[in-house]
């Protein structure tokens, strides 16, 4: 015989109601109608209280599970944030190092250009001094005694 799930569920509920009915009938015969009603209300109150306690327990468990998951996710976020800060610090350090290297290279190029210009000026000065014209003091010049800087005479 193959029972359908609905049929077995119906039979289970029917057996629970039959048990309750038999228990109430027995209590009515054993202690009377007034006390039977009090006992049934007391049992219903205990069942409601137990259901509320179970609901409170489940609610607290779900809340604590949610807090635990939140804290775990927050810890993962903090770990990722710290990794990001570490990467940003490494990048900033690399940028500062590159800037320092560029500054050193610029300083070296400026020194090199200054040395080249100094060599060119020395070479130009030597070339100018190697010509036949020389400057000397001459008191017999036509400008002598004038007090100007024209007290130089060019010898050719």
pLDDT in tens, 37-68: 898 899 999 999 999 999 999 999 999 999 99
Two structure tokens written together for 72? 């775990």
The answer as to whether 68 is a domain residue is yes
Pairwise CA distance, residues 150 & 143, whole Å:
7
* Domain annotation covers residue 91: yes
Question: Residue 4 carries which DSSP code?
Answer: -
CA distances from 142 to 57, 137, 138, 146 (A): 122, 12, 9, 9
Asked whether residue 18 is assigned to any structural domain, the reply reads no
pTM beyond 0.75, yes or no: no
Domain contains 23: no
Look at residue 151 in the predicted model and tell me its pLDDT.
Answer: 52
- Domain encompassing residue 88: 32-155
For residue 22, being part of any structural domain is answered with no
The overall average pLDDT reported for the chain is 84
- Asked if 40 and 24 touch (Cβ cutoff 8 Å), the reply is yes
Range 102-108 average pLDDT: 95
The answer to the question of residue 21 being in a domain is no
Q: Is the pLDDT of residue 106 over 90?
A: yes
Q: Which segments of the chain does DSSP mark as H helices, in order?
A: 5-31, 33-129
Q: In this predicted structure, what is the pLDDT of residue 86? A: 95
Number of domains in the chain: 1
In the predicted structure, residue 9 carries a pLDDT above the cut 80: yes
- 137 token code pair: 């003091």
Give the pLDDT band (50/70/90) at residue 134. low
Domain membership of residue 1 (yes or no) is no
The Cα 104–Cα 110 span in angstroms is 10
- Domain annotation covers residue 122: yes
């Amino acid at each position: 015989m193959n029972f359908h799930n609905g049929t077995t569920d119906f039979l289970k509920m029917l057996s629970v109601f039959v048990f309750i009915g038999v228990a109430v009938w027995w209590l009515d015969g054993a202690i009377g109608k007034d006390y039977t009603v009090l006992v049934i209300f007391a049992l219903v109150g205990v069942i409601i209280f137990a259901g509320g306690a179970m609901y409170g327990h489940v609610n607290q468990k779900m809340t604590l599970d949610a807090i635990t998951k939140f804290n775990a996710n927050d810890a993962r976020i903090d770990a990722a944030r710290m990794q990001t800060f570490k990467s940003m610090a490494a990048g900033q350090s690399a940028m500062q190092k590159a800037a320092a290297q560029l500054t050193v290279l610029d300083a070296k190029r400026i020194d090199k250009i200054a040395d080249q210009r100094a060599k060119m000026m020395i070479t130009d000065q030597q070339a100018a001094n190697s010509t036949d014209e020389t400057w000397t003091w001459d008191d017999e010049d036509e400008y002598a005694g004038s007090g100007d800087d024209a007290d130089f005479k060019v010898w050719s």
